[in-house]
Every structure is written in C-alpha cells, then in structure tokens.
Amino acid sequence: MNYLKDLKTICQINSYTQNKDGVDKVGAKMQEWLEIIGFETTTYKRESLGNHQLFTTPKIAGDKILFLGHNDTVFPEGQFDKYHQDEDWVYGPGTCDMKGGNIVALEALKEVYNTNGKLQNVDFFLVSDEETGSDDSKFITLELAKNYDYCFVFEAAGENLEVVTGRKGVGTYTITIDGRASHAGTSYLKGINANLEASYKLQELTKLTNLDIGTTVNVGKISGGIGANTISPKCELLLEIRYKINSERDRLLKALDNITNTSYIDGTISTLDGLIQRDVMEPNQKQLDFITKLEKISGHTIPTEQRGGVSDANHIASCGVTTLDGFGPFGDGDHTISERALKSSFEQRIKMMTKILIEHQINNKF
C-alpha cells in the first residue's frame, strides 16, 4: 500500500479552498507524480484561488477520457490537519473527499503506465474550488467537456462501492425585500413591513418542495429589521433549490420569479439574485450501457446510486458527456473532523480502474 504514503503527503498539506498556497502545494505534488508517467501540464493560474491544472497525454483516434477531481478541502489551517490510520481506516482531511479519490486515479494511471510504458487519450483535470461551488473552475470544465467521450469522477464511493449515476441540480438565490421604516409605536401604519412580506414569501417558497420527486426548496437564512420598535424597512431571504430532473428546474425558476414579483404586503418591492451553481446530472441509457461494458471489463457487478449532493460531475454530464461519479474510495465523516476512508476500498477501486484503463489503452475505445 505504498500509495497511502502519497495520500498522507497531500492530506498533511492544508488545502482549504481559500488557502491558495496550500492548494497549490497539493497541485505541485500531483503534477510531480503525473509528469513522471508522461503527462504534460497546463496550469490555469489564479490570484486568490489555487491554480486549476489540466494534465494531458498524447491523442490518437479513439475514445477520449477525462478524469476529474479537486485539490481543495473544507477546513482552515489549525482546525483539522491530522492524518493517521489503523488496521482498516485512514483518517484525515481529504481522505475520502477527495484526495483519496485523486490517489485512486493516480495509482491506476501508474499501474497502466508501468504495464504499457505509455498512456494516451486520457487526461486528468484537478480544480481548486469545488468545495465552494466551482464558481471559477466550472467555466473551464464546461469548455473542456466538448473534448471527451467519457468522464470518470473520483468522489467517494457509496457504502457498497456504488458508483454515482445521478446528482441533483442546485441553485442558490437571495430575495431582497424593500419596505419602509417607521416608529412601531407612534407611526405603525406609516411603515411597510419587509419582514412580514418575507414571512409570506417563506411559506410560498416552502410549498414548492416536492419530496416525491426529489425537489427541495430551503430558506436557510432570513435577515431583516432594525429593532423591536421599528417597522422593518428591509429583509433578505437566502435560499437553495435542489432538483432531480430538468423540468423541475424550469418550474422552480418560474416560481421564484412569480413569488419575488408578488407583493403580499402592499408597497413592498422585491428583487431576486442568484444562479444555478450546478445543473442536474440525470441518469440515462448511455450510462447504463457504459456500466454494462465496465462490468464485463472488471469482471464484477457495479452497483449504482443517485445522490442529493452535487459535484463537478454535474457540469460534465450537463454537456452530454457520458459521466460516472463515485470512483474514489468509500469513506464517511467528510466535511467533519472525523473524516475517514476504508483501506480495502482503495484496493478495489484501484484494481477496477486499472482494468478499465488497460482495456481502453489496448483498444482505444470501450
């Protein structure tokens, strides 16, 4: 398990998204290891974020593959920096989300390179801002997507080593409500209560949730008012939408506009700001056909699952690229100080990905 030494090396480098120096140090280690096995590096330099990196191999006729991962993690320096292991698990920041997945990809690539002496038609894109929504890197990802036939994403596997065929789309929005301040004791009727308007909008937004088809609308934060003796002149609702099918995205966006533009309290004026951060990754027949091929190549069944959480797989899938996620190790406790990954799942994932890559490198197609 020499690859666990590599995992320890990068997990002990703090790569909190806002820690550019740390993220770039992780990227430098990945670059060092990948260039040894023949990859060339294109660096997308950033001033305040870590640099994004595209590692490429020579191209010939055949299926083009993209591996996708991220170098950033969620905890600032000093909060969760320890790495350790026991007989079954490795513990530390990024062990499952997703430095562990990056190591699975790296190790499989090493195995194939050492077997064949070369790699071709497979690239590896590592971004630096996935944990904060990929607001910068997504534009590069969407542009790169057109160059590939298949994408493997190395986020953590499911508990039974499932790969991920579907992820919800997600959008974050702010509704800003303007009312009019007045003294609550002496001039109550002169005021226009933005907080009261927000209460009506909150109820209407909550009604948009449809759990039967996986749609949720959550108003996670409400900020408004000045004090108990003042009619509130302003209020903001911060909300998130999640959905499993494109038609629900369209319904939600239309409803957000309608709720924003409806004044439940006369005189209030509201504005809507926000965006879809990651569009939905919907399961499709191409995925199922691809999984059938991968099962034959790997020699065992590949279970699947859908997740409510999002990843950069959403971006690639939205461009029509046949995309599968969850090729990293199984782990739990991600985004907590208890994050860990199961050692045996590294072995399974590396062996499976190596078989898949060897088949691709021999035939240049699936």
Mean pLDDT value of segment 120-138: 96
CA quadruple 243, 246, 248, 250: dihedral sign: positive
- Any idea which residue has 């579907």 for tokens? 166
pLDDT band for position 6 (cuts 50, 70, 90): very high
What residue ranges of the chain are covered by domains with CATH 3.30.70.360? 169-278
Q: Kindly state the average pLDDT of the residues 320-346.
A: 97
Lowest-pLDDT range of 76-80, 268-272, 344-348? 76-80
% residues pLDDT > 90 (the chain): 98
Per residue in 302-320, pLDDT (tens digit) is 999 999 999 999 999 999 9
Superfamily of domain 3-167+281-363: Zn peptidases (3.40.630.10)
**Is the separation of the CB atoms in 314 and 167 below 8 Å?**
yes
Given pLDDT bands bounded at 50, 70 and 90, which one contains residue 2? confident
One DSSP character per residue, 155-224 reads SPBPTT-PEEEEE-EEEEEEEEEE-B--BTTT-GGG-B-HHHHHHHHHHHHHTT-BGGGTBEEEEEEEEE
Average pLDDT value over all residues in the chain: 97
pLDDT the model gives residue 355: 97
* pLDDT over 90 (residue 1): no
Q: Are 286 and 158 in contact (CB under 8 A)?
A: no
98 preceded by a cis bond (ω within 30 of 0): yes
pLDDT in tens, 20-79: 999 999 999 999 999 999 999 999 999 999 999 999 999 999 999 999 999 999 999 999
pLDDT digits (tens, 9 = 90+) for 71-119: 999 999 999 989 999 999 999 999 999 999 999 999 999 999 999 999 9
**Which of the four CATH numbers 3.30.160.270, 3.30.70.360, 3.40.50.12780, 3.90.480.10 does domain 169-278 have?**
3.30.70.360
Confidence check: pLDDT of 182 > 80: yes
pLDDT score at 75: 95
Q: Where are the alpha helices (DSSP H) in the chain?
A: 3-11, 20-36, 99-116, 138-144, 194-206, 246-261, 285-298, 313-318, 343-363
pLDDT of residue 213: 95
Pinpoint the residues of the chain covered by CATH 3.40.630.10. Answer: 3-167+281-363
